[in-house]
Amino acid sequence: MEENRIIQEFEGKTILITGATGFLSKILVEKILRVQPNVKKLFLLIRASNVRSVESRLRQEIIDSELFRILREKWGQNIYSFLSSKVIPISGDVSYENLGIVNSELIDEIWRETDFIINSAATTRFDERYDIALDINVFGAMNVLNFAKKCSKLKLLLHVSTAFVHESRPELLLEKPFQMGGTLKGAKASYLDIEAEKKLVDETKTRLQAQNMTDKEFASTLRDLGIERANWHGWANTYSYTKAMGEMVLENFKDNIKVIVFRPTIITSTFREPFPGWIEGLRTLDSLFVAYAKGTLKFFLGDPGSILDVVPGDMVVNSILVAMAIHSQKPSHELIIYQVGSSLRNPIKCTEVKELMYKYLKKKPLIDNKGKLIKVGNPTLVSSITIFHRYIRLRYLPFLKMLKLSNLIFCNHFESLYENSRRKINRAVQLAELYKPYVFFQGIFDDANTENLRMAIRESNVNTEMFEFDPKSIQWEDYFINTHFPGIVKYVLK
């Protein structure tokens, strides 16, 4: 059958995947092994820790995860022998030269055998320490590129970035590469000098170390520096800023390596494969859902007009596999960007997501640790960050002050209520600040290149269901109510 054209591209091939323990990579690894058991090898780059070897991380976090259930059922007792011949965990770290791999024979083997590299490693914390974010998201991308240059039969390097490298503007945001040094429109600087940023970080660290700061103060100063430099150059947070720099180094230094860059929007639980609703960890939108479901958040942040661009994880993986198969055949070495999201072809507004959250939790409220149902009201929509701060100031701070006073008068009788309320308010403020670039985002992500991939598979009679990544096929109400929200409850809040 024609579907094999995509699958066949991976037969006998060796793929190196970084960030293999991450949410997206797991869906990718599972899909490859399920649809193409004749892939030659998957080298999975995993960070070892003091307490866990890469072998145990591979087993516990990847193979034994619920996501691999279908694959385990398919292979039964033979699953571990099947996987041990295919899946090779490699201890490494992208922040180092040669990806931190120390075994030189292994490095030679990877350089000799690898056909494709997928760089999915990243720090995804929006307010990461600036030094860490630079090391992983910028110089990590550079290290992966340098490593790719030594792979003698490499067909392509696929780098996973994010659609939020764009600034929030009410227009169609194109799949255009960044030029080295480019800044965004609202920037206070006209040029972004990556080497100078690295120097600034090194100097700041030396200065802070000389001041005998606590670890906490040291980390928080470097976190603030990241946000400050991001804003200075026009980005909303350290994450999107360093991801943009990562794209710049790839574009600038790729030489004759074929590089394609994927920019997914907000990745949500699987739509269909290997089964609907699988998700791991609390991500952008989901932290808001959980805070609201637990009664911590009584409002929903979002511009009534703004669109929340989300895309299920399996659709991102399908588009990645199709792009790899198609590009490995193409002679062109131009860097191509693929934006994978839904805002252009099947938009859903923030306000609609808010209504769906309410609808779901009214029917299926969470249960608190005393076994009581947590009742939620229809959340108030707070349509700007200024209104949000006013709302907190007027509605919650007087209550907190009153509790503090009562606590003083009644010998700490209200201490736990006070602490609990203070924590909830701080959490709400933190969430609002972190997610404001996403929930108030004004742009629509163009996906003309991604649409070309869809057209290519439609025209070649490939089984489009096996490689579904058309956001038009998502019926949002059904997806959120019957797949995504239950997925968070089942796999994240378990």
Ligand X SMILES: NC(=O)c1ccc[n+]([C@@H]2O[C@H](COP(=O)([O-])OP(=O)(O)OC[C@H]3O[C@@H](n4cnc5c(N)ncnc54)[C@H](OP(=O)(O)O)[C@@H]3O)[C@@H](O)[C@H]2O)c1
Nearer to ligand X, 6 or 163 (CB): 163
Backbone phi, psi, residue 176, to 5°: -110, 135
**Quick check: 110 and 43 in contact, CB under 8 A?**
yes
SS3 247: helix
What is the DSSP secondary structure assignment for residue 316, as one 8-state letter?
H
d(CA 407, CA 384): 33
- Length of the chain in terms of residues written: 494
- Note whether 487 binds ligand X by CB under 6 A: no
Name the CA radius of gyration of the chain, rounded: 23
- Please name the helix (run of DSSP H) or strand (run of DSSP E) that holds residue 318, with its range, or none: helix 313-329
In the complex, which residue's CB is closest to ligand X? Answer: 22
Backbone phi, psi, residue 375, to 5°: -80, 135
**Quick check: 377 and 362 in contact, CB under 8 A?**
no
The residue count for binding ligand X (CB under 6 A) is 28
Options 14-22, 73-81, 217-225, 449-457: segment touching ligand X (CB under 6 A): 14-22
- Note whether 450 binds ligand X by CB under 6 A: no
- Minimum CB separation of residue 170 from ligand X in Å reads 21
- Note whether 160 binds ligand X by CB under 6 A: yes
d(CA 17, CA 30): 12
Helices and strands, number each (H, E), in the chain: 20, 13
Q: Is the dihedral of CA 94, 100, 103, 105 positive or negative?
A: positive
DSSP string, 225-237: HHHHHHHHHT-SS
243 catalytic, yes or no?
yes
Name residues contacting ligand X, limited to 313-342 (CB under 6 A).
none
Options 22-30, 71-79, 249-257, 454-462: segment touching ligand X (CB under 6 A): 22-30
d(CA 431, CA 433): 6
Burial 182-208 (b: 16+ CB within 10 A, else e): bbbeebeeeebebeebbeebeebbeeb
d(CA 166, CA 343): 14
∠ CA 24-30-32, nearest 5°, is 100
Nearer to ligand X, 50 or 369 (CB): 50
- Minimum CB separation of residue 243 from ligand X in Å reads 6
* Residue 87, beta-bridge partner list: 42
Nearer to ligand X, 23 or 414 (CB): 23
- Minimum CB separation of residue 58 from ligand X in Å reads 11
Q: Name the catalytic one among 130, 239, 241, 418.
A: 239
Q: For ligand X, which residue of 14, 36, 114, 124 counts as binding (CB under 6 A)?
A: 124
**Quick check: 455 and 302 in contact, CB under 8 A?**
no
Backbone phi, psi, residue 124, to 5°: -105, 10
- Minimum CB separation of residue 471 from ligand X in Å reads 15
SS3 332: coil
Options 20-28, 82-90, 220-228, 385-393: segment touching ligand X (CB under 6 A): 20-28
Q: Name the catalytic one among 26, 243, 254, 424.
A: 243
Site string for ligand X, 264-293 (x = CB under 6 A): x-xx-------------x-x----------
Q: For ligand X, which residue of 14, 95, 242, 319 counts as binding (CB under 6 A)?
A: 95
Q: For ligand X, which residue of 32, 67, 133, 136 counts as binding (CB under 6 A)?
A: 136
Site string for ligand X, 50-89 (x = CB under 6 A): ----------------------------------------
Name residues contacting ligand X, limited to 23-42 (CB under 6 A).
23-25
Report H helices in 87-214.
104-113, 130-133, 139-149, 194-210
- Minimum CB separation of residue 310 from ligand X in Å reads 8
- Note whether 123 binds ligand X by CB under 6 A: yes
Nearer to ligand X, 7 or 30 (CB): 30
Note the Cα 163 to chain centre separation in Å: 10
Options 118-126, 169-177, 228-236, 247-255: segment touching ligand X (CB under 6 A): 118-126
- Minimum CB separation of residue 118 from ligand X in Å reads 10
Nearest 10 degrees: CA dihedral of 339, 343, 345, 348? Answer: 150
Name residues contacting ligand X, limited to 231-260 (CB under 6 A).
243
241 catalytic, yes or no?
no
Nearer to ligand X, 7 or 336 (CB): 336
Options 13-21, 195-203, 299-307, 481-489: segment touching ligand X (CB under 6 A): 13-21
- Note whether 437 binds ligand X by CB under 6 A: no
List residues with catalytic annotation: 239, 243
- Which residues contact ligand X by CB under 6 A? 18-25, 45, 47, 93-95, 120-124, 136, 140, 160, 162, 243, 264, 266-267, 281, 283
